[in-house]
Amino acid sequence: QTVVTQEPSLSVSPGGTVTLTCGLNSGSVSTTHYASWYQQTPGQTPRPLMYNTNTRSSGVPDRFSGTILGNRAALTITGAQADDESDYYCVLHVSGDIYVFGPGTKVTVL
Amino acid sequence: QVRLHESGPGLVETSETLSLTCSVSGGSVTPYWWSWIRQPPGKGLEWIAYIYYNGDTNYNPSLKSRATLSVDTSKNQLSLKMTSVAAADTAVYYCVRYGFYHFDTWGQGILVTVSS
Model pLDDT, residue A56: 97
10 Å CB burial of residue A30 (0-12, 13-18, 19+) is middle
Model pLDDT, residue B101: 85
Model pLDDT, residue B64: 81
- Cβ of B76 under 8 Å from any chain A Cβ? no
Distance to chain A for B13, nearest Cα, Å: 25
- Do B47 and A101 lie within an 8 Å CB cutoff? yes
Q: Is the pLDDT of residue A75 over 90?
A: yes
Strand partners, A19: A76
Q: Is the pLDDT of residue A96 over 90?
A: no
Chain B residues with CB under 8 Å of A57 CB are 102, 104
Chain B residues with CB under 8 Å of A93 CB are 101
The pLDDT tens digits along chain B (116 residues) read 999 999 999 999 999 999 999 999 999 999 999 999 999 999 999 999 999 988 999 999 999 889 999 999 999 999 999 999 999 999 999 999 988 888 999 999 999 999 98
Model pLDDT, residue B44: 97
- Cβ of B93 under 8 Å from any chain A Cβ? no
Distance separating alpha carbons of residues A99 and A42, to the nearest angstrom: 23
Q: Are B10 and B110 in contact (CB under 8 A)?
A: yes
Model pLDDT, residue B116: 80
- Do B104 and A57 lie within an 8 Å CB cutoff? yes
Q: What is the full DSSP assignment across B58-89?
A: EE-TTTTTTEEEEEETTTTEEEEEE-S--GGG
Q: Is the pLDDT of residue A24 over 90?
A: yes
Nearest partner of B93 among B116, B63, B65, judged by Cα: B63
Model pLDDT, residue B99: 87
Chain A residues with CB under 8 Å of B44 CB are 89, 101-104
Mean pLDDT of A61-65: 97
Model pLDDT, residue B111: 98
Model pLDDT, residue A95: 87
Model pLDDT, residue A65: 98
**C-alpha B65 chain-centroid distance:** 15
Distance to chain B for A64, nearest Cα, Å: 17
DSSP state of B93: E
pLDDT digits (tens, 9 = 90+) for A50-60: 999 999 999 99
Q: How far is CA A59 from CA A47, A48, A51, B27, in A?
A: 10, 10, 13, 20
- Do A99 and B107 lie within an 8 Å CB cutoff? no
Considering only CA atoms, give the Rg of chain A: 13
- Do B101 and A34 lie within an 8 Å CB cutoff? yes
Query: For the stretch B19-54, what's the b/e string if a residue is b when 16 or more beta carbons lie within 10 angstroms of its beta carbon?
Result: bbbbbbeeeebeebbbbbbbbeeeeebbbbbbbbee
SS3 A10: strand
Distance separating alpha carbons of residues B77 and B71, to the nearest angstrom: 6
Q: What is the full DSSP assignment across A13-69?
A: -TT-EEEEEEEETTB---GGG--EEEEE-TTS--EEEEETTTEEPTT--TTEEEEEE
